[in-house]
Amino acid sequence: MNQYEDLSARFGTPLYVYDLDEVAAARKELLDALPEEFELFYALKANPHPEIVRALREPGDARSCRAEISSTGELAAALEAGFSGDEILYTGPGKTAGELSEAIGLGVRMFSAESETDVQHIGRTADAHGVVADCLLRVNSATASATTSIRMTGAPSQFGFESETLGEVMPRLRRISGVHLAGLHFFPLSNAKDEASLIAEFTHTIALAAQLQQELELPLRFVDIGGGFSVPYATPGRRASYPGLRDALAAALDEHFPAWREGTPRFACESGRYLVGASGALVAGVSNVKVSRGRKFVILDAGINTFGGMSGLGRLLPVTVELDDTRAVDRASLVGPLCTPGDMLGREIKVPELGPGDTVVVPNAGAYGPTASLLMFLGRPAPAEVMLRGGEVVSASRIEHRRTPLSGSAHG
């Protein structure tokens, strides 16, 4: 019996297994690829499990990550994992007054602002709390370098200020009370095709940041140049390596920001999937095998309610799972248990001979798993999640759904 079979026997299936040692290794690899002056934010949207978030915060044998969040739920997870408010960057285009009040009340002081009204909302809430919040103006660049990755800029979007019109609104932004315009935030792409694409995009971003600083007469204290680091999703393989990235970033910064090594400004990158994707595997049980008009369907107890297929921003269903199994001798479609033809995890992929009671293991499933899935669809229980460190179980848990009456209702 292998480790996954042992764990599925103990905790049932579907089951996510996360290796916290792998999380720490990914963090070290990425920080080693960046100049040591860089800070690194972990985007909790990839996997907000507090044990994973805590592992990325703990220094260990590498520098610690900061937290990038987009909701009060992620804020709660970050705080539970040990982050303080001043270690957190709050992002997103839809921050409500209630969310801003809760975040500022819990010590968050840095926000990525997506629009003039977003800055106004942040300032109004900061004033109400008697504090000043730092705003990073998120920039939607009119131009880009890489063209082979998932683009996040260059088109009309709810994300960010258009780089070509930012100058027009700056006088009004400067008059908003309760905020300090502290810097810029970029997120031009996700899942870069290769190191050359990533370097080209980062170099373009650094040059644009320098241009905007000069044109807008905006002294920059902090610049987040985004991410784009790549790791396979639900298919075999290793996360990408970036041996030339550190020197390329340093050269670009030396050219455009001569005092960057002294912290003027401070620079950061952010990553979600790269840091946690390779740490997890999804173990699913085979419920049934059916042949229909000559095609084989392996029906699993895990479907899009368990593994939703969000392999990065802008990328949704369908997922395309591949198994890392040397016994693969057959071809079949892997489908889930839901009453919809969209519950397809892998179409006509290589599989071993499978029957009811067997298990399959989906690799590189540590990011965009349960919390990016249709967890409540059809009311099936959420998958169990098991954390390992040194090969030993650290914790085992399951997200539970329950309906809670609201105050003011007949049952409140």
Question: What confidence category does residue 114 fall into, taking pLDDT thresholds of 50, 70 and 90?
Answer: very high
Q: Are residue 156 and residue 63 in the same domain, yes or no?
A: yes
Question: What confidence category does residue 150 fall into, taking pLDDT thresholds of 50, 70 and 90?
Answer: very low
Q: Are residue 221 and residue 144 in the same domain, yes or no?
A: yes
**In the predicted structure, residue 276 carries a pLDDT above the cut 70:** yes
The Cα–Cα gap between 369 and 137 comes to 30
**In the predicted structure, residue 197 carries a pLDDT above the cut 80:** yes
Domain that includes residue 392, residue range: 3-14+278-398
What token pair was written down for 332?
A: 């079949």
Average pLDDT over residues 5-15: 96
CATH number of the domain within which 261 lies:
3.20.20.10
Structural domains counted in the chain: 2
Q: What are phi and psi of 87, to 5 degrees?
A: -100, 10
Question: What confidence category does residue 222 fall into, taking pLDDT thresholds of 50, 70 and 90?
Answer: very high
Residue 392, classed as helix, strand or coil, is: strand
CATH number of the domain within which 382 lies:
2.40.37.10
Q: Are residue 241 and residue 212 in the same domain, yes or no?
A: yes
**In the predicted structure, residue 310 carries a pLDDT above the cut 60:** no
Q: CA angle, corner 225, sides to 107 and 194, nearest 5? A: 135
The answer to the question of residue 408 being in a domain is: no
pLDDT at 317: 46
The answer to the question of residue 25 being in a domain is: no
Average pLDDT over residues 199-210: 96
The answer to the question of residue 29 being in a domain is: no
The answer to the question of residue 21 being in a domain is: no
Q: Are residue 266 and residue 357 in the same domain, yes or no?
A: no
**In the predicted structure, residue 155 carries a pLDDT above the cut 60:** no
The answer to the question of residue 377 being in a domain is: yes
Task: Kindly report the average pLDDT of the chain as a whole number.
Answer: 90
Q: Are residue 301 and residue 368 in the same domain, yes or no?
A: yes
**In the predicted structure, residue 359 carries a pLDDT above the cut 70:** yes
The answer to the question of residue 26 being in a domain is: no
pLDDT at 42: 98
**In the predicted structure, residue 318 carries a pLDDT above the cut 60:** no
Domain termination residue (choose one: 252, 271, 290): 271
Q: Are residue 251 and residue 347 in the same domain, yes or no?
A: no
Q: How many CB atoms lie within 10 A of CB 329?
A: 10
**In the predicted structure, residue 315 carries a pLDDT above the cut 60:** no
Judge whether 174 and 116 are in contact, CB under 8 Å.
no
Q: Are residue 204 and residue 285 in the same domain, yes or no?
A: no
Q: Are residue 159 and residue 59 in the same domain, yes or no?
A: yes
